[in-house]
Amino acid sequence: MGVVLENHKEKHEIVQFSFVDLDESKGGTDFQPFLKTQIRQPEKKESEDFQAGLPTKNEPVKQKQSSENESVRKRDELIETLIQKSEILTNEIASLRGKLDNQEQLFQAELKSIKHDSYQRGVHDGILQAERNNENKYHQNLERLGNSMKKLETISTQFESLSENFEKELVHTSIAIAKEVLTGEISFNSGQVAINLSKSLIKSLNEATEITIHANSGDIDDLKTSLSKMENVKIILDSAISRGGVILSSDVGTVEGNIMDRFKVVKESILSKVD
């Protein structure tokens, strides 16, 4: 920048400058600092989209509940299938028995007819025919009677075989239904199963002064809540015991309760009678 001397003013065009006060507190409100207007606010959309993609705290609970519901549905479907099968077997047995009854009625009717014919023919032939002819008729009637009896014996044997097979299958189906019901009860309500077993076994130890119940960790809380009023009963954790089962030790002896073990004993007892 140069300085214009007084004697050179005529050679230059001089314009007066005016300055604007940049202090916002003293001037207008139109002024905006450059840096302030240029700074952009950070965008939140991407962060919000990322957060939306994260699993919520409730999702594991929902997934667990969905899995339990699916297990219950499959168990109920299996039980329903087994029940339908047992109904079919029962109907088949009833049908076979009905057929045997009909065959027996037919046999009795035929036997009665043969006896009647034999008597009538015997009387008639005794009067009109020779003794030899009567003997031939008699042997023919005996042969008819023998054939009818063989036929009935064959039908009876076939029925007994079919009936026995159906009854065995019906027993096995009923056992399978009972097993599924027990398995489902233990899976979803093992605490109550352990409580019922404990109460039953405590009665068998009525002379004991102190009783210790060994139970699975999943059943401990239910047992403590239900048996809290029994002062001589103590409940401890035993990882070797399956859910729903208990072992009671006392000063008079030790007893074990496992619903599936009891089921196996009953099952073997039933099958030994039908197999």
One digit per residue, pLDDT tens: the chain, 275 residues? 555 556 555 665 565 555 555 554 444 445 455 444 444 555 555 555 545 555 555 556 566 667 767 777 777 777 777 777 777 777 777 777 777 777 777 767 776 776 666 666 655 555 555 556 666 766 677 677 677 777 767 766 767 777 777 778 888 888 888 888 888 888 888 899 999 999 999 998 888 899 999 999 999 999 999 998 998 999 999 989 999 999 999 999 999 988 888 888 888 888 887 76
pLDDT score, position 13: 59
User: What pLDDT does 268 receive?
Assistant: 85
Alpha-carbon dihedral angle through residues 156, 159, 163, 166, given to the nearest 10 degrees: 160
CB crowding 163-189: b at 16 or more within 10 Å, else e:
eeebeebbbbbbbbbbbbebbbebeee
Let me know the angle formed at the C-alpha of 18 by 12 and 22, rounded to the nearest 5 degrees.
145
- E strand or H helix that includes residue 245: none
In a domain, 182, yes or no: yes
Question: Domain for residue 107, yes or no?
Answer: yes
Q: What is the CATH number of the domain that holds 92?
A: 3.30.2320.30
In a domain, residue 91? The reply is: yes
User: Which residues have C-beta within 8 Å of that of residue 242, sequence separation ≥ 6?
Assistant: 216, 258, 260
Q: What is the pLDDT, as a whole number, of residue 220? A: 93
The pLDDT value recorded for residue 132 is 60
Q: Is 61 contained in some domain?
A: no
DSSP code of residue 40: P
The pLDDT assigned to 213 comes to 96
Q: Strand, coil or helix: what is 13?
A: coil
Q: Is residue 43 part of a domain?
A: no
The answer to whether position 71 is within a domain reads no
Q: How many domains does the chain have?
A: 1
Q: Which domain holds residue 212?
A: 78-274
In a domain, 231, yes or no: yes
- The pLDDT value recorded for residue 222 is 94
241 within domain boundaries: yes
Per the listing, tokens 């059943």 go with 219
